[in-house]
Amino acid sequence: MKTLGLIAAGVAVTTVTIMGAGPAHADFTDAVEYTDSGENVEEGEYGEYAIDRNNPGSCLVVQNHTGGRVTLRLNYPTSKGKWTFSHDEVGVLTRDGRVVTSPSGRWNVRTNPPIVFNWVYDDNLNNRKGCNGSWVLTMN
């Protein structure tokens, strides 16, 4: 029985290692600055995340893959409004029917609950909506 347990543990570790090793993709995680990863945030509080790279006129696309609902608020470019994303929902931030853009291209957001996140910039995304490219915030 002990041998079977060790074999099962070895298979589980191998499976996790293989599943975690996905294809490499280019992103700008080196440009990410964040004030809190969410690990030390009390329940019901917001985690804060920012991308500090100049992409003037960019929009923000949010992908929620957390398994639950996430509420997002902006600190920059504006502090007005909040957006709620359901599990597997993807959307560009809009206000009054217009996309929200960042004059500098930098974004600072808060989420409830705190999330595991990744920022990727796509210079062609949402150009027809008036964006000079889009930052994609993926929440896992």
Q: Where do the structural domains in the chain lie, given as residue ranges?
A: 27-139
pTM above 0.75? no
* Cα gap 57→70, rounded to integer Å: 25
Please enumerate in sequence order all residues whose Cβ is within 8 A of that of 126, keeping only pairs 6 or more positions apart, or say none: 59, 61, 92, 99, 133, 134
The reported pLDDT for the residue numbered 44 is 62
4 against 70, higher pLDDT: 70
Q: Is the pLDDT of residue 6 over 90?
A: no
Say how far apart CA 41 and CA 24 lie, in whole Å.
Answer: 30
Q: How large is the average pLDDT for residues 63-86?
A: 92
Indicate if the pLDDT at residue 45 is higher than 90.
no
Q: What's the rounded Cα separation, in Å, for the pair 7 and 64?
A: 35
The alpha-helical segments, DSSP class H, found in 1-99 are: 2-20
